[in-house]
Structure 1
Amino acid sequence: MQTTRPQAADGRVTVDVADLADIGLPLLDEPEHPAQGSYQHEHTRRWSRTVQLADAFVVVTPEYNFGMPAALKNAFDFLYHEWAWKPVAFVSYGNTSAGTRSVQMAKQVVTTLRMMPVGATVALRLADSVRDGRVSGSPTLDAAARAVLVEVSRVARAMRPLRGGTDVVDGPVDGLTLTDGQPGDLAELLVLQRCCWVQEAIVNDTLDLAPLRETLDDLHASMSTWRWWCVRRDGRLVAAVRARAHEGTWLIGRLMVAPDQAGNGIGSWLLSYAEEQAPEETTGCTLFTGHRSTRNIRLYERAGYTRTWVADPPQDVVHLSKPRPAGQPHRPMTDSPVHDGAGVG
C-alpha cells in the first residue's frame, strides 16, 4: 500500500484493507445457499457489506500444497452476488512458484463468481523478496504493484454498468448516465460537492456548511445510511443526489449539479427521479436548504414543495415538504438507518 498510495491518490482510488485474520469468518456455516442472499449470521452480513461496497479487489495470497489457502476459499464461498462483475488482481507469495499456483486455482473460483481476473500481477518468491520477515522493495516490484492498481481501476470503471443500478437515461440533455453511487465515485463526489457548495456559502454568508467540511471518510460512511445516485455526462460526474427514509418521509439531500451544467434542467429532472424512489411507507418527500438560497427555494417550489414548520429547526435553514401524489406507484421500503443532518443545494 505504501508503494501504491501516491498512484491511488492520483487516480482518485480509495483503498481499504480487509484482513481475513481480523474478519474471522468461521468455516461456512450459513444454512441457505449464498446465491439466496438470506444470511442468518451477523459475521456473514458484515462480510457481505464489505464486499458489496467494493468496486474491485486485490487478493494477497500465499500458496499451500499447490493451491490457495482454505481461508481464502472459505471467504469466497460465503457470498455470491456481491462478487459479481468486479475485477480482481492477485499478489501472491511462496517458494518455488512464488505463489502463482495458488492464483491459478483462485482464478477458477473467481470466474465462477462472475469476477474478472486482470492480467497484471505481483508474484513474490520468498527467498528473493523477503528479508527479516519484511518484503524488500525494488523498482521492479514497485512498478508491478502500480501496474496492478492502474489496471484493476480501469477495469472496475469499465465494468460498472454490469454491476446493476445503471440506466442510460433519456434526460434533459444528451449523454447522461444514471447510476447508483459506488465507493469508486466518492472522490469525484467530494470535488463536485465542494464546487457546488461554494456558491451556497457565498449566498448564505457562512463557511460553516457540512458539505464543505466533509472528508472522503465521511462520504464513505454516508453510504451506509443514505442511498446515492450519480449522473454522468459522457463519463464525467455532473450531478448527484441522495435520499433515505426518515420518520415516515423520504428525506432528499445533497442535490447538486456542476456549475457549468446548471440551467439545463438536470437538477429538476434528478429531483423528480429521487422522489420516484420513495418507499411505499413514506407519506411524502422532505428536504432542507439555506434560508438565503432563493434559487434553490424557487426550484423546489416549482416542483411542488412548500415551506413547513418544524420544532427547533436548524439555524438559517428552510424546511420544505411535498406530499405523495395520489396514485403514485409505490416502492418497497428497505432498511434505512437514520442519523441527524441533511443538506440540499
Structure 2
Amino acid sequence: MSSNAQTARLNVLVIVASTRPGRLGPAIADWFVQATLPTAAAGGTTLDIADLADIGLPLLDEPEHPSSGIYVHEHTRAWSRRVAAADAFVVVTPEYNYGMPAVLKNALDFLYHEWAWKPVGFVSYGNTSAGTRSVQMTKQVVTTLKMMPIGATVALRIADSTQDGQVLRSAGLDDTARRMLLELTRVASAMRPLRTEPDSDVTSLPGPVEGLRLTIAQPDDLAELLVLQRCCWVQEALANDTLDLSPLRETLDELRESTSTWQLWCVRRHGRLVAAVRAQTRGRGWLIGRLMVAPDQAGNGIGSWLLSYAEQQAPEGTAHYELFTGHRSTRNIKMYERAGYALTYADVTPDGSVHLVKQRQPTA
C-alpha cells in the first residue's frame, strides 16, 4: 500500500438504526462519537452521524434493481452519496423480536455497490441479549453486500448501561468504544485498495453487473466499436423494417471524424467491448446518441446504467436531455420512458426516428 493510502483520512458513518419514538439510538450514537472523538482526531478519522429517522427513506421504491446504480428518486441519490463517501460504518441498533429494525434492513437494501469493500462495526443495545441478536441478523445481510463485519463490538444492556435516556459513562465502556474504532479504521485502511480503481482513465461508477470498465473511447477502440454498432443496429433494422440506418452506413473514417464533435464512452467487460454511447451539446440540450449494448448482454441493466452516466456528463446550463430512436423500437422507447423521457409527438423524421426529451432537474 502506498504511503498516501496509509495516511489518507478515513470517513466513518455512524448509522442510527431506529426511528421509534422515545428511542435511545441518538443518545448512544452521541456517546460513541464523544467517547471516540480524541482517538478519531489522532488517527485522522472523521465521524459523521446518519440518523435514519432524519434521512426518512420510504420503503424501497426504486424501479431498477439497486445493483444497477440507477436511481429515480432524489432521496435515494442523497443516501447513495452519503454511503459512497464513507470508508467504514458503525451501526447503532436495537433488537426487535430477535432481529434488526425494519428501517435498517430497508436502508441497506436501497443501495448495493456503495456498501462494498467497507468494514462495519456494531453498537447494539437491548434488554436480555443487549441487542446482539440484531447484530447477528444484520451480519448475514452486510456480508452479502460485500461488507466486512469486524470482531470488536459494543453491546449495552439498557438496565445496566443507561439512565434517564443517556449512556452511563465509564472508563471501561469508553475504552471498549475506542478499541472498536481503532479496529474498524485499521481494517478500513487495509481494504482501501479494494475500493480504489487503480486506472485513472476508468470511471469508478458502479455497474449493474461485475467486470464492467467504463472509459473514454480511444482511437484503438473505434474499429471494434464500429463492429459492435453494426451488430446492435441489425436488430433495429429488423424492428423498423429498413436497412437505411446511418449507424449501419457509417464508415470507420466517419466514426473517427465524429470524435471531434461528440464525446464517446466505451464499456468493456472482461476486456470485451460490450456497450458504448456518445453525447454532444445541442443548443441548451444534451443530445445522447448511439446508445448500444451487445445483444447477448442485453437485459442486464447496462443500457439504463450507461444512459444515466451519459446524462451526468452534461455540462452546466443544460436544460434538457434528448435522443432519437426508431419509431418501431418499442423496447428502446419503453426503456427511455422508464428513465423519464417523453415522446415529443412530432412527425416521424425522414429516417423513421422519433424524438424523446427529458427535462434536467435543477441541482440543490
TM, length-normalised to structure 2: 0.47
Alpha carbons 1:88, 1:116 under 8 Å: kept? yes
Shift of 1:280: 8.3
Q: Please name the residue that 2:83 is paired with.
A: 51
- What letter corresponds to residue 65 of structure 1 in structure 2? N
Cα distance in 2 for residues equivalent to 1:43 and 1:76: 14
Q: Please name the residue that 1:14 is paired with.
A: 46
Q: Please name the residue that 1:39 is paired with.
A: 71
SS in structure 1 of the partner of residue 87 of structure 2: coil
TM-aligned CA distance change 1:139 to 1:38, over 3 Å: same
SS in structure 2 of the partner of residue 27 of structure 1: coil
Per-residue CA shift, 1:66-116, capped at 9, x if unaligned?
A: 000000000000000000000000000000000000000000000000000
Cα distance in 2 for residues equivalent to 1:22 and 1:332: 32
Shift of 1:141: 1.0
TM-aligned CA distance change 1:5 to 1:32, over 3 Å: same
Structure 2 counterparts to residues 169-180 of structure 1, below 5 A:
none
TM-aligned CA distance change 1:59 to 1:336, over 3 Å: farther
- What letter corresponds to residue 51 of structure 1 in structure 2? V
Shift of 1:334: 4.1
Shift of 1:337: 8.0
Q: Which of these residues, 172, 184, 198, is aligned with residue 166 of structure 1?
A: 198
1:70 and 2:81 aligned: no
Structure 2 counterparts to residues 176-255 of structure 1, below 5 A:
none
Q: Percent identity?
A: 69
TM-aligned CA distance change 1:179 to 1:36, over 3 Å: closer
Cα distance in 2 for residues equivalent to 1:120 and 1:167: 34
TM-aligned CA distance change 1:333 to 1:70, over 3 Å: closer
1:110 and 2:135 aligned: no
- What letter corresponds to residue 160 of structure 1 in structure 2? R
Q: Which of these residues, 113, 121, 141, is aligned with residue 89 of structure 1?
A: 121
1:123 and 2:155 aligned: yes
Q: Which of these residues, 127, 130, 133, is aligned with residue 98 of structure 1?
A: 130
SS in structure 2 of the partner of residue 17 of structure 1: strand
Alpha carbons 1:85, 1:163 under 8 Å: kept? yes
Alpha carbons 1:92, 1:100 under 8 Å: kept? yes
SS in structure 1 of the partner of residue 107 of structure 2: helix
Alpha carbons 1:57, 1:87 under 8 Å: kept? yes
SS in structure 2 of the partner of residue 166 of structure 1: coil
TM-aligned CA distance change 1:6 to 1:179, over 3 Å: farther
- What letter corresponds to residue 77 of structure 2 in structure 1? R
Shift of 1:146: 0.3
Determine which structure has more spread, i.e. the larger CA radius of gyration.
2
- What letter corresponds to residue 112 of structure 1 in structure 2? T
TM-aligned CA distance change 1:333 to 1:69, over 3 Å: closer
Cα distance in 1 for residues equivalent to 2:124 and 2:72: 33
Q: Which of these residues, 103, 126, 137, is aligned with residue 169 of structure 2?
A: 137
Cα distance in 2 for residues equivalent to 1:27 and 1:142: 35
Structure 1 stretch displaced more, 33-42 or 105-114: 33-42
Shift of 1:336: 7.5
TM-aligned CA distance change 1:159 to 1:167, over 3 Å: farther
Q: Please name the residue that 2:19 is paired with.
A: none
Cα distance in 2 for residues equivalent to 1:91 and 1:336: 42
Cα distance in 2 for residues equivalent to 1:147 and 1:157: 15
Per-residue CA shift, 1:238-292, capped at 9, x if unaligned?
A: xxxxxxxxxx9xxxxxxxxxxxxxxxxxxxxxxxxxxxxxx9869xxxxxxxxxx
- What letter corresponds to residue 90 of structure 2 in structure 1? V
Structure 2 counterparts to residues 230-309 of structure 1, below 5 A:
none
- What letter corresponds to residue 125 of structure 2 in structure 1? Y
SS in structure 2 of the partner of residue 16 of structure 1: strand
Alpha carbons 1:98, 1:125 under 8 Å: kept? yes
Cα distance in 1 for residues equivalent to 2:128 and 2:52: 25
Cα distance in 2 for residues equivalent to 1:65 and 1:32: 31
Cα distance in 2 for residues equivalent to 1:38 and 1:163: 20
Cα distance in 2 for residues equivalent to 1:146 and 1:16: 16
SS in structure 1 of the partner of residue 34 of structure 2: coil
Cα distance in 2 for residues equivalent to 1:38 and 1:139: 46
- What letter corresponds to residue 46 of structure 1 in structure 2? A
Structure 2 counterparts to residues 325-344 of structure 1, below 5 A:
334-335=312-313
Cα distance in 2 for residues equivalent to 1:144 and 1:167: 39
Alpha carbons 1:129, 1:135 under 8 Å: kept? yes
TM-aligned CA distance change 1:337 to 1:86, over 3 Å: farther
SS in structure 2 of the partner of residue 14 of structure 1: strand
Q: Please name the residue that 2:111 is paired with.
A: 79
TM, length-normalised to structure 1: 0.50
Q: Please name the residue that 1:259 is paired with.
A: none
Q: What RMSD over aligned residues (CA atoms) do the two structures have, in Å?
A: 2.9
Per-residue CA shift, 1:272-323, capped at 9, x if unaligned?
A: xxxxxxx9869xxxxxxxxxxxxxxxxxxxxxxxxxxxxxxxxxxxxxxxxx
Shift of 1:333: 8.2
